[in-house]
Structure 1
Amino acid sequence: MDDETAEIELLQQNLNKTRQISKRMTSILDSFETRVAKLEKSILPLYTASQILNRRRSNIDKTLEKIDDVATREEDLSAEESLILRGPQAGQLHLYKEAVERLNANIAFKAGESAEIAKIADLVETGAKRLVQLYTKIVAEGSSGPTPTSDRINTSLLSLPSTFPPTLLPTLTPIVKFLRGMPIPATHPSHPAAQGIARTLMDAQRGFSDMRGNWCVKCLDAQGKRLVVRAGTSDVDPLQTGREFGEWVEIILATADEEHKLLQSLAPLPPSSSAISSSYALFLSPILRLFNSVLSSLVALMKKNLQRYSFLALSAYEALLSQQGQFELVLSFTTDMGAGGSFSSSKGAGGGAMVGDKSGHDILREGLTTLRSLCLRSFPEFLADIKLAALPTAVGKGGVNVNADVSTKVLDFTIETVKYISKIPEVEGAVSAALLALGDGNWKMGEGIQVGQKSKGGDAGGDESENVVLEHFIHDVIQTTITSLQTISRPPSRRPAFGAVFLLNNVAYLRAFLPAALLAPPTVELVQSNFRTAKAGYFDSNFTPLMQAISDAPLSSTSNTSSSLTSLGGGGKSGQVKDKFARFYELFEEVVERHRMGRLLDEEGVERERKVVEEEVVGIVVESFRRFCVKAGGKGKNTQKYIKKTPDDIEAEIRSLF
């Protein structure tokens, strides 16, 4: 218990000490609080004054920073302005691009500073103009220089005379890419320079189209003029000129297609249907003007002498007709306008390419219509010329009088008929289509044929009907030619014997040179039948008197020659034999002389016909004379003295006539 009492007393003592310490601490804290309150009351005015000073110091620092920033920015803007105004330098396009991009960034982050934004926008627009100047300079360099001088038409796309130089593309392509990234209303509607830049780029794009169009015309013009000059040259086949016209049109279309691709890749404005179509229409206008001019010159030439240039019209029509689809496709690039496009052309339906008041579609349509009408006219006019050659006062083509009564030459219109028909396969499509449009038989104008009647071949759209109409036309041409030849071969145009040789020469020429593939069976039979008839007429007029002279019938007493010979030879069988030999030799000399004056089948290429006639003449005349000589040998001992020329001599002389 004593221990516990002692511990309690100890605790009591410690508690008292704690109370005393607590009182003293409380007194100290009260005194400290009083002093702090007094200190706060004395320091508060100083604190308030220092806060005001701090704010003033902060404002001064911010002002100084702003001044430094403006000064730095003015120095940077001055440097950018100097770079922009100097323009892009060779090999430093990236520096120019970075400067313009920094200016655009300044505009984007300084929306509230209108005066400074306007100045920066002017610099951006100036930068675009400087880039456009460089762009235009390079395009002008690629659209100038010497034009091709070769006379040879070449349709290879790799050798088109107007192709843009590939060496300039590495320089031009980065500029185009940069220009397409410039702000325009379509991509940056709030950019203050967007409208001005768009106008600049559109002017550059129009300039590109104008330069490329004029350059292409400059390159194509020489070949176009050459076509017109060659068409008027007498030694150039009109069919070849028509084919060259087709090749020239093909070059135009290939050039237009290449230039459309070039415009899409090098146009400074971002590709869009409206911008490209408008610019492409501008490019096509001078080319269409050139095409229209050349075609008009060729048409004027055809109208002056349609028969000479009928195959020029046919081949040109076929060439243009075959390329109509590609032509329409090229023209469609100019009318593919976006609805409400801001760059649409104001001319033409849909903004297509225009030449004066005509659209490209009008020019193509009128060209095809004019050529087609010339083709339709050429068929009846060709037949009319053949008919006119048979008139008594006619002068054949080339100024040769077809009424010379001893002339046996192949006439020009016969040769022209063969040439005409032989050329048809090269333009068969155009000929068949035109004949079908004209109507079966309507080429026989003035012979009671109703214009516009339906084709005999059936449906107007079928290949079979075109073939039938073509066969009918060729048949009528050959029949008209033969009819005219028969008219010219008759008296008084020709002496009968010479007329027979003349007719045989001309009909044999037709038989030898007409292309068999184009002749229908009735036409082949027409030619063969007239050849047989002409051959029979030739035999009858030249060799029938010979056969009559050595026939068993007595010589006619009405013949002056036979009368004189009878009186000289006396009567009886011996006198008759002598008279017949004399009459035969006299007539044979006339035949030989006649053949020397008018050559028979003397043209190259009629060897087969010449051989047929030669063998038949030899077979008839020589064999008949040989039989006569055999018979005459049994009628008297002195018969041999009447034979001045043996059958072998007669045969050799006859063969020399061919």
Structure 2
Amino acid sequence: MDDETAEIELLEQNLNKTRQISQRMTSILSSFDSRLVKLEKSILPLYDSSQILTRRSKNIESALNKIDEIHAYQEGIAAEEALVLRGPQPGQLQEYIEVVTRMNQTIAFGSVEIGAVETARLVETGAKKLMQLYTKLVAEGSSGTPINGPEFEPMPFPPNILETLHSLVDFLRTLPLPPTHPTHPAAPAIQAALKEAQKGYGDMRGSWGKKCLEVYGKRVVERAGTINGIATGKEFSQFMDNIMNVADAEYALLLTLAPITTPVSINSTYTTLLNSLCTLFSSTLSSLNSLIKRDLSKYTPMALSLFSCLSAAQERWEEAMVHRAGRRENELKDGLQGMKATCQRSFPEFLADIKLAAGSSRGELSTGVIDTTMSTVEYIERLPEVREAACTMLFSLGDGNWKMGEGARVAKGARQDIDENTILQHFTYDLVSTTLNTLQALGNSNRRPAFGSIFLLNNVSYLLTRLLTRPSTPTIPTLLSKPAQDVIRSNFRTAKAAYFDSNFSPMLQTLTDDGNKSKSAIKDKFTRFFDLLDETTERHQLARVLHDDDEARGQVSEEAVKLVVPSLQKFIQKNLGKEFSKNPKKYIKMSAEEVEALIKSFYLERDGMPPPAERETNNLLIQAGWSR
């Protein structure tokens, strides 16, 4: 117990000590807290002041940094401004593009600050300098002397210029424009400059294409009057193909070199480019049309050939020159309509010109083949090459309406009743019959019927030979119906009969038995016969008969001999024994054989050495005192 009591007392003593220590600690802490409060109150003003000084120090430091930044920026702007204003230098295009790009990025991604307006101005200036370089490069690639060889050869951009242009265009397409950068200060001015540069591209490329092609257009026009019309149509067709080939190539190039690639802008530039090419096409076609109108009869095959080539090119032209550019104008369509009107007018006018030729003679004309005959033959010979165009025109006129009011007018809807071959044969029949009528009128109008008969025989024979007996191509006789062929052959027979009648019948008439058998009558008959033979000889020395047809000339020679010589021989044999004169050779100037040789000489070739078979005839003539 005592031990426990002692421990309890000890614990109480320790508890009292602990309480005293706690009270003493509480007193000390209370005193420390009071002192801290007092210290805080005394230090707070100083802390507040230091905070203000610290903030001011930071503001001053920030201001100094900003001043340094602005200073450095202004120095950079000045350096870049000098570079931009100088423009891109040779070999430094990429560096220049990088400067303009960097300046543009400060506007696109930076905040609105002092210098942004100036930077935008420099971006605009740099962009315009690059556009000037673009225009300069396009001009260099669109200048020089074109290749003017026999065949058209396009002149592409030099590779080095094209490579530079591609790099330049790639950058120009990144420039800010109002649709993509509505807040960019320089966007409107840059867009206006780009449009102007792109329009200039179209002008320069179009002018260059025209310059390369126009010599070939002039060549077509210059040759049109010297070559046949079908060949002119083919040459113009090739010229038209070259125009469209250039347009295709330029469109592909435009898609890679246009700074503004919107469909509207591409179409507008392409239209500008096409203006020069279309002007060249229209002027060339107009020149050909003017040539045709000056002599429509002569150049009708050319008109039909041009109509054919224009019709064949319609689809491609509309795609390359109209739809692709969104244009309303269609120069080919306009030219086709004009050429169609010319072709339609050509048929009745050709017939009318042939009719008018009948009144052109004043009583004397050459006995050779005249232009009217040759033009008719040439016209028909060219028809197979323009058959489709000719049939189209004839159907549009209506069967028979090409006769300009002769007979009943046929409705245009008659096409469904006849085919192309029939309507073409109808026209060629009218053409042939009109030509024959004109030749007949010209032959009859000659003051000397004998010469008129030679003229008619030569011209009708020319039609017969070139169209039926020896045509240049097998298709030509198929253009003529049986009535047309019959009328040609019938007229040839009539012309040959008229030739014999006017040249040899008067001689034969002197040899006829008129009942007067006196010596003086026989002398007169021989005298008259050889006088007429002299006239006929002189006539045949002046006028060549069938000089282009050896076979027909040989037949006429044989027929003339058979017509004259037997009658003369019979007359000589009948009267030679009657001793009508003491000197018969005074009246019988030539024997029948010599007359035969003389008549055959009428039909011999006159230029160069005659064939061996003709030399014997010449020798007989010389022996008789006659010469060719």
TM-score, scaled relative to structure 1? 0.75
Which residue, 352, 360, 372 being the options, matches 1:384? Answer: 352
Does the 8 A contact of 2:303 with 2:339 survive in 1?
A: yes
Using the TM superposition, name which of 45-54 and 419-428 deviates more.
45-54
Alignment partner of 1:423 is 2:382: yes
Q: Using the TM superposition, give the Cα deviation of residue 24 of structure 1 relative to its aligned residue in structure 2, in angstroms.
A: 9.3
- Measure the CA separation in 2 of the matches of 1:521 and 1:301: 32
Give the structure 1 partner of residue 550 of structure 2. Answer: 607
Give the structure 2 partner of residue 68 of structure 1. Answer: 68
In 2 relative to 1, CA 112–499 (structure 1 residues): closer, same or farther, beyond 3 Å? closer
Does the 8 A contact of 1:139 with 1:208 survive in 2?
A: yes
| 1:282-320 Cα shifts (integer Å, max 9, x gaps) | 233344444444444444444444334434433333333
Does the 8 A contact of 2:367 with 2:543 survive in 1?
A: yes
- Measure the CA separation in 1 of the matches of 2:23 and 2:178: 82
Give the structure 2 partner of residue 595 of structure 1. Answer: 540
Does the 8 A contact of 1:281 with 1:334 survive in 2?
A: no
- Measure the CA separation in 2 of the matches of 1:303 and 1:424: 19
- Measure the CA separation in 2 of the matches of 1:596 and 1:44: 154
Which residue, 34, 37, 40 being the options, matches 1:41? Answer: 37
Matched AA of 2:130: L
The structure whose residues are more often helix, as a share, is 2
Alignment partner of 1:102 is 2:102: yes
Q: Using the TM superposition, give the Cα deviation of residue 458 of structure 1 relative to its aligned residue in structure 2, in angstroms.
A: 2.5
Equivalent positions of 1:479-628 (< 5 A) are 479-490=433-444, 493=446, 495-514=448-467, 515=471, 516-518=474-476, 519-522=479-482, 523-542=484-503, 555-557=513-515, 564=519, 592-603=537-548, 606-614=549-557
Equivalent positions of 1:102-251 (< 5 A) are 102-113=102-113, 115-146=114-145, 152=150, 154-155=151-152, 159-160=153-154, 163-225=156-218, 227-228=220-221, 235=226, 237=228, 240-251=231-242
| 1:382-401 Cα shifts (integer Å, max 9, x gaps) | 2122212223xx24xxxxx6
| 1:162-201 Cα shifts (integer Å, max 9, x gaps) | x444442011111111101111122222322211111110
SS in 1 for 2:164: helix
In 2 relative to 1, CA 111–594 (structure 1 residues): closer, same or farther, beyond 3 Å? same
Give the structure 2 partner of residue 458 of structure 1. Answer: 416
Does the 8 A contact of 2:84 with 2:125 survive in 1?
A: yes
Does the 8 A contact of 1:557 with 1:563 survive in 2?
A: no
Q: Using the TM superposition, give the Cα deviation of residue 482 of structure 1 relative to its aligned residue in structure 2, in angstroms.
A: 1.1
Which residue, 581, 602, 607 being the options, matches 1:657? Answer: 602
| 1:76-115 Cα shifts (integer Å, max 9, x gaps) | 33333232222222222222222222222211332343x4
In 2 relative to 1, CA 439–182 (structure 1 residues): closer, same or farther, beyond 3 Å? same
- Measure the CA separation in 2 of the matches of 1:382 and 1:557: 55
In 2 relative to 1, CA 219–449 (structure 1 residues): closer, same or farther, beyond 3 Å? farther
In 2 relative to 1, CA 15–311 (structure 1 residues): closer, same or farther, beyond 3 Å? farther
Does the 8 A contact of 1:331 with 1:360 survive in 2?
A: no
Using the TM superposition, name which of 295-304 and 319-328 deviates more.
295-304
- Measure the CA separation in 1 of the matches of 2:550 and 2:159: 60
- Measure the CA separation in 2 of the matches of 1:370 and 1:237: 21
Alignment partner of 1:360 is 2:354: no
Does the 8 A contact of 1:497 with 1:541 survive in 2?
A: yes
Does the 8 A contact of 1:505 with 1:600 survive in 2?
A: yes
SS in 1 for 2:115: helix
Q: What CA RMSD, in Å, does the superposition of the two structures yield over aligned residues?
A: 4.3
In 2 relative to 1, CA 595–331 (structure 1 residues): closer, same or farther, beyond 3 Å? same
Matched AA of 1:329: E
Alignment partner of 1:467 is 2:435: no
Unmatched 5+ residue regions in structure 2?
Answer: 604-628
Give the number of aligned pairs: 583
In 2 relative to 1, CA 457–556 (structure 1 residues): closer, same or farther, beyond 3 Å? farther
Give the structure 2 partner of residue 306 of structure 1. Answer: 296
Identity %, equivalent residues: 42
In 2 relative to 1, CA 563–378 (structure 1 residues): closer, same or farther, beyond 3 Å? farther
In 2 relative to 1, CA 557–74 (structure 1 residues): closer, same or farther, beyond 3 Å? same
- Measure the CA separation in 2 of the matches of 1:40 and 1:286: 98
Matched AA of 1:368: L
Does the 8 A contact of 1:457 with 1:468 survive in 2?
A: no
Does the 8 A contact of 1:256 with 1:284 survive in 2?
A: yes
Does the 8 A contact of 1:500 with 1:541 survive in 2?
A: yes
Give the structure 1 partner of residue 398 of structure 2. Answer: 439
Give the structure 1 partner of residue 619 of structure 2. Answer: none
- Measure the CA separation in 2 of the matches of 1:645 and 1:44: 171
- Measure the CA separation in 2 of the matches of 1:568 and 1:278: 98
Does the 8 A contact of 2:397 with 2:412 survive in 1?
A: no
Equivalent positions of 1:289-328 (< 5 A) are 289-328=279-318
Matched AA of 1:415: M
Matched AA of 1:327: W
Does the 8 A contact of 1:456 with 1:465 survive in 2?
A: no
Does the 8 A contact of 2:367 with 2:452 survive in 1?
A: yes
Q: Using the TM superposition, give the Cα deviation of residue 246 of structure 1 relative to its aligned residue in structure 2, in angstroms.
A: 3.9
Q: Using the TM superposition, give the Cα deviation of residue 600 of structure 1 relative to its aligned residue in structure 2, in angstroms.
A: 1.5
Does the 8 A contact of 1:504 with 1:534 survive in 2?
A: yes
| 1:493-529 Cα shifts (integer Å, max 9, x gaps) | 2545444333221111112223451323323333233
- Measure the CA separation in 2 of the matches of 1:333 and 1:22: 111
Does the 8 A contact of 2:154 with 2:212 survive in 1?
A: no
Does the 8 A contact of 1:456 with 1:468 survive in 2?
A: no
Does the 8 A contact of 1:307 with 1:378 survive in 2?
A: yes
- Measure the CA separation in 1 of the matches of 2:554 and 2:180: 87
SS in 1 for 2:416: coil
Unmatched 5+ residue regions in structure 1?
Answer: 1-5, 337-351, 353-358, 396-400, 570-578
| 1:306-342 Cα shifts (integer Å, max 9, x gaps) | 3344344333333333333333234425753xxxxxx
Q: Using the TM superposition, give the Cα deviation of residue 477 of structure 1 relative to its aligned residue in structure 2, in angstroms.
A: 1.1
Does the 8 A contact of 2:177 with 2:191 survive in 1?
A: yes
SS in 2 for 1:557: coil
Does the 8 A contact of 1:455 with 1:465 survive in 2?
A: no
Give the structure 2 partner of residue 476 of structure 1. Answer: 430
Matched AA of 1:504: L
Matched AA of 1:216: G
In 2 relative to 1, CA 419–568 (structure 1 residues): closer, same or farther, beyond 3 Å? closer
